[in-house]
Structure 1
Amino acid sequence: MPNALRVAANLALPLDTVTGTMAVLGIRGSGKSTTATVIVEELLEHGQQVAVIDPTDVWWGLKSSADGKSPGYPVVILGGRRGDLPLAAGDGATIADFVVESNASVVCSLRHFESQRDMRRFVTDFARRLYFRKGQEGRATPLMCVFDEASLFVPQRVMGEDAQMVGAIQKLVRQGRASGFGVTLIDQRASTVNKDVLTQVELLVCHRTVAPQDRKALEAWIDEHDAEGRAEDFLTSLRRLPQGTAWFWSPEWLDVFQQVQVRSARTFDSRRTPKAGERVKAPTRTADVDLEALKAKLATTIEQARADDPRELRKRITELERELKQRGAAPDPAALQAEYKRGLEAAVQELRTLLVGRAVDLRATAERLTDVATAAVDAMRRTADAIAGDVPAHIAAAPPAVGRIPARPTRSAAAAPRSAPPVRRSPAPASGNGVHVSGTQQRILNALALFEQLGQTPTSRAAVAGVCGISHTTGSFSNNLSTLRTAGLLEDAPGGAIALTADGRAHITELPTVVSVDDVHSLWIDASNSLSGTQKRMLEQLIGAYPKPITRQQIAEALGVQADTGSFSNNLSKLRTLGLLADVSRSEVIATELLFPRGLA
């Protein structure tokens, strides 16, 4: 592969990775920092621009070779112990301007800032200004933004002023590709990184992960992206991964699912923890940086920023008026008008930038509130299932999720009549081996019966879980399937699918009446708890276009969203995972027979 990023002997990433989004995760000592360094080295080796947000002052080693005896890469270090130039909390917007105008790769070391508030101020200003400047004419060149210790900047728990910082970074992740942005998030704990941001990344690079809460956070990403049923192989191996070994997983973007031993870094290990009594040796050679030219360029950037600052322009106008008054000369109307126009344009631009930032903050807040509400509903459902799991099905009488499908306006003139199987609502007895099914297990059995009624058996686990309103990647779902399998109520089929057994059919407590495709559509759009509002609207577009395919752009335009965002791709991926859509080409998708069963009109 020409111009490939060779991160391991058996894995090369495309150069376009510079404008992709990824997360590099793993416990301390697992090798995640080396992997992140290797990716940055490869980008620099191929002449790509990188900006690293470094809160621990450990990235300056990029300027020297691994043994410290030869130059590394000519990266500008701003702030920190080995900074080429100092850095202050209020410099975020200025440094963003410098990055855009100089095309230099930089490391912004924030370790010397006195408080988290100072870090927050710098990063918020930097991200907002960077997004604005890269959107200007001729500025959309590739730039990879790396956020080390990402949970400091996109925390899972967003409080107070964090919202503006999270919103600014989230905008880079979701909407930055068109302006040339790539984003890399690095952290030890997946559970501490904001889920709304983490689930948007296109490439997951995962080293050894042990804590249950971190594995659960990874399941949220898997639930959004795994269309091939690879979750079990991935999750079961994480605890045992050797140091330096990582999973590279990108289902949609790079189509890679590979466990590799990442190569060693070529640059100086400036993050190595010294052993007791050891004195760490500093590198003797570093890459040269023209400090004088750098200072001149930065001074020009600062001067231009001041010239465009509405406050500075108002001050300048006042000075001009005072000077003219002292001279006794009449003001030049054209000169004053030009200054007023320039000040007005700068003020309007500043207001626009502020409003865009506020809009992102409000959107992020709304999405977090939605997630909280969804989590609360899921928690109540799990609690109910747990209670029902301790009570035999014939006593619990918990209403299954698969029930009578609600009425819905028909799409066609008259659906072809079809005799519906009887609805049995009386609970079935326990199986012969004395095993009773819980509420969730009963919903799984009822869902399998529904698909069998539609002639869609064996059925994928994802589709069964989707009808039940639960996730197919969780351990709870796998455990419930195992219990039903042991009881002889379901059996495995090729391709990871499942199907009812004869004993399983005897346990069906309620079989819905399905007489038309409209009933099937209602099952997913009106009655499903597995799909978000956006996903349901996408589904309606697919249904409306069937039997013809529909382009991603047409769906996006119908929904009033952008087709090139990670959020849009993730929503399509969820429908693909459930088996509701199939890809016709890179730009076209089509509804599947899961939505249009044979024999139904």
Structure 2
Amino acid sequence: MSSGLRIADDLELPIDMVTEPIGILANRGRGKSYSTHVLVEEIHGADVPVVVLDVKGDWWGLRSSADGQADGLPFYIFGGDHADLPLEPTAGELLADLVVDERVSVVLDLSHMSKTKARAFTVAFAERLYHRNRDPLFVVVDEADVLIPQRATAETARLLGAMEDIAKRGRGRGIGMAVVTQRPQEVAKSVLDLMDTLLLLGVTGPRSLKSISEWISGHVDEDTTAHEVMATLPSLPVGTAWVWSPMQGLLQRVAVRRIRTFDSHATPKPGQKRVAPGARAALDLQALGERITATVEKAKADDPKHLHRRIAELERDLAAERSKPAPAPTVERVEVHVVPDETLEVFSGLAGQLLEQLATIDGRLTAAARVPTPLPSRPRPAADRAPTTRRRARPAGGSDTRGGPTPAAGQGAPSGDVRLRAGAHRMVEALGRMAPLRLTKSQWGTVAKLKTSGGTWSTYLSDIRRAGLIDETAAGYTLTDAGFDYLGGRPEPMTAAELQDHYRGILRSGAVSMLDALIEAYPDPLTRDELGEAVGLATSGGTFSTYLSDLVRNGLAERQDGAVVATTVLMHGADQ
């Protein structure tokens, strides 16, 4: 095993960095993929398996020498134009099992998949890898803005969680990773901020430079050196990188060494044809196929659905054997076909074993299942607090026994025994968690996950008013003291992050993209053109106006001198 990772003639990184998160950031054509290629060669040379998640389909050159005339590295290529074996969108867990069990290096070429399918494959692969791996392993996430997007949606939330687990806790499971992108501002900050080391090549975009500056300010004190590094990034020559690792006490400008395998990332210049290598490292695909078959069989053995089918087959066979009629007797000879006791015992034993396995697996799955609560609050002190709670009766008019004011006229008086249906209870809880803020009707309905235009809302609102639980003014709704009594006290206030995540889960994806753009820009407003550019929509279209209306109607954004800005309630929650 190599003693270090020599990425330049004058720089050898510690071998321990194979289990750390590394960010590789640069504009297109400035040496980003080339530098990552060098790092992969070094890590593979240290006998550590490498997995490349390849969105563009240009990592196949690892299999050939730099001049294309000899063998390269023994990477198995799944999917894409240069595949050894096909890559199915549903094979994420299978490929993770293969990598963990066989310790092979692979390129997972996702270029033939849609973004949706590529992300579905990646989330299954990443979750399984994190769950099972324990030995050193390095994962390259190329074009990370596709697989680790900054603007989270309901579809990508699980994927981001898997990537955050690898970046934050992967070291303890032997997993290092490289996050490679030309658009760092489009990569989830929750992952990019976790990078222990950055390789910074030529960067010119103001938003990209801002993301890098934010990483620097979060890892080192602002000083003259940091400003000098930032000032040089736009003019760095191709292939020149700043390697910055605060944990290692390292900041060095280097010329990345030349790669030893084929440069399949190079873009042909006008008049040139892409050169294809004439030789590739030979691999035993038959042996790999046998390993994959064994992996599949092992997965099937642990699959409850497969066990259900096998048990059903055994039970049908057993029933068929038992129901066979004895043949009609003849004068010469009487034959009765009977299933031997030994056969019946074998069938019964197999069925019993499979039933026991199924019960064990189903039990584990049930124990693992969790259903998140949409609006968590502090536990109530008494088990009978909701939906039925005994209440002190207040005297008519004046104040209650604690001296607080009674509800205003028309708002109802609290009954001695408050009984609310589940939907009405959710409405009360929503106001409690947002207190002391007053919610508009639309905001209240969105937080409580109820439509305010239907008869159900009116019915629930009448029940709550009659119980004297709400205080309503022209500014909006909040709870009375009786309302907080009904909840068993004041619940934990809803944080900004909790409120933002809540809206991300219920708004349409286009509105969520707008929401994230406004959150990122806050406290600065965005013009309509800037907002349209951020979410990739024409501002003259009806779709843009619909999504923006969703945000304004729900009190998440407000128009300000021809621009749009996130509201304070969205950015600060109940803590204002």
Q: Tell me the TM-score normalised to structure 1 length.
A: 0.58
> Against the structure 1 CA distance between its residues 365 and 83, is the aligned structure 2 distance closer, same or farther, given a 3 Å change threshold?
farther
Matching residue within 290, 297, 300 for 2:294: 300
What is residue 95 of structure 1 aligned with on the other side? 95
* Counterpart contact for 1:167–1:364, Cα < 8 Å: no
Aligned ranges for residues 60-99 of structure 1 at < 5 Å? 60-99=60-99
> Against the structure 1 CA distance between its residues 175 and 246, is the aligned structure 2 distance closer, same or farther, given a 3 Å change threshold?
same
Matching residue within 338, 361, 374 for 1:346: 361
What is residue 584 of structure 1 aligned with on the other side? none
What is residue 182 of structure 1 aligned with on the other side? 176
* Counterpart contact for 2:135–2:173, Cα < 8 Å: yes
Which whole-Å deviations, capped at 9, do the CAs of 1:71-112 have from their partners, x for residues lacking one? 110011111111111111111111111111110000000111
* Counterpart contact for 1:68–1:282, Cα < 8 Å: yes
Show structure 1 runs of 5+ residues with no match.
135-139, 384-601
Whole-Å Cα distance in 1 between the matches of residues 23 and 519 of structure 2?
A: 27
- The 3-state SS of whatever aligns with 2:253 is strand
> Against the structure 1 CA distance between its residues 120 and 349, is the aligned structure 2 distance closer, same or farther, given a 3 Å change threshold?
farther
What is residue 392 of structure 2 aligned with on the other side? none
- 1:242 deviates by 1.0
* Counterpart contact for 1:163–1:364, Cα < 8 Å: no
Which whole-Å deviations, capped at 9, do the CAs of 1:46-69 have from their partners, x for residues lacking one? 211100100111001001111001
Larger Rg computed on CA atoms: 2
What is residue 212 of structure 1 aligned with on the other side? 206
Q: Which amino acid is 2:75 matched to?
A: V
> Against the structure 1 CA distance between its residues 96 and 64, is the aligned structure 2 distance closer, same or farther, given a 3 Å change threshold?
same
> Against the structure 1 CA distance between its residues 51 and 242, is the aligned structure 2 distance closer, same or farther, given a 3 Å change threshold?
same
* Counterpart contact for 1:247–1:260, Cα < 8 Å: yes
The two structures, once aligned, show a CA RMSD in angstroms of 3.0
* Counterpart contact for 1:321–1:331, Cα < 8 Å: no
* Counterpart contact for 2:50–2:106, Cα < 8 Å: yes
Show structure 2 runs of 5+ residues with no match.
323-343, 377-494, 505-514, 526-576
> Against the structure 1 CA distance between its residues 354 and 296, is the aligned structure 2 distance closer, same or farther, given a 3 Å change threshold?
farther
Which whole-Å deviations, capped at 9, do the CAs of 1:251-305 have from their partners, x for residues lacking one? 12x2211111111111101121122332222111111110110111011111211
Q: Which amino acid is 2:253 matched to?
A: Q
What is residue 122 of structure 1 aligned with on the other side? 121
What is residue 40 of structure 2 aligned with on the other side? 40
* Counterpart contact for 1:154–1:194, Cα < 8 Å: yes
What is residue 5 of structure 1 aligned with on the other side? 5
What is residue 28 of structure 1 aligned with on the other side? 28
Which whole-Å deviations, capped at 9, do the CAs of 1:126-172 have from their partners, x for residues lacking one? 111111122xxxxx110001110001011111122111111111111
Which whole-Å deviations, capped at 9, do the CAs of 1:539-597 have from their partners, x for residues lacking one? xxxxxxxxxxxxxxxxxxxxxxxxxxxxxxxxxxxxxxxxxxxxxxxxxxxxxxxxxxx
> Against the structure 1 CA distance between its residues 129 and 281, is the aligned structure 2 distance closer, same or farther, given a 3 Å change threshold?
same
Matched, 1:288 2:282: yes
- The 3-state SS of whatever aligns with 2:90 is helix
* Counterpart contact for 2:94–2:295, Cα < 8 Å: yes
> Against the structure 1 CA distance between its residues 78 and 38, is the aligned structure 2 distance closer, same or farther, given a 3 Å change threshold?
same
- 1:314 deviates by 1.1
* Counterpart contact for 1:210–1:238, Cα < 8 Å: yes
Whole-Å Cα distance in 2 between the matches of residues 368 and 186 of structure 1?
A: 28
Q: Which amino acid is 2:138 matched to?
A: M
- The 3-state SS of whatever aligns with 1:82 is coil
* Counterpart contact for 1:132–1:353, Cα < 8 Å: no
- The 3-state SS of whatever aligns with 1:23 is strand
What is residue 548 of structure 1 aligned with on the other side? none
> Against the structure 1 CA distance between its residues 29 and 286, is the aligned structure 2 distance closer, same or farther, given a 3 Å change threshold?
same
Whole-Å Cα distance in 2 between the matches of residues 22 and 330 of structure 1?
A: 59
Matching residue within 240, 243, 258 for 1:245: 240
> Against the structure 1 CA distance between its residues 51 and 378, is the aligned structure 2 distance closer, same or farther, given a 3 Å change threshold?
closer
Q: Which has the higher contact order (CA 8 A, sep 6+)?
A: 1
- How many residues get paired? 372
Whole-Å Cα distance in 1 between the matches of residues 366 and 92 of structure 2?
A: 18
> Against the structure 1 CA distance between its residues 307 and 216, is the aligned structure 2 distance closer, same or farther, given a 3 Å change threshold?
same
Identity of aligned residues (%): 37
- The 3-state SS of whatever aligns with 2:179 is strand
Aligned ranges for residues 497-512 of structure 1 at < 5 Å? none
Q: Which amino acid is 1:319 matched to?
A: E
Whole-Å Cα distance in 1 between the matches of residues 520 and 138 of structure 2?
A: 38
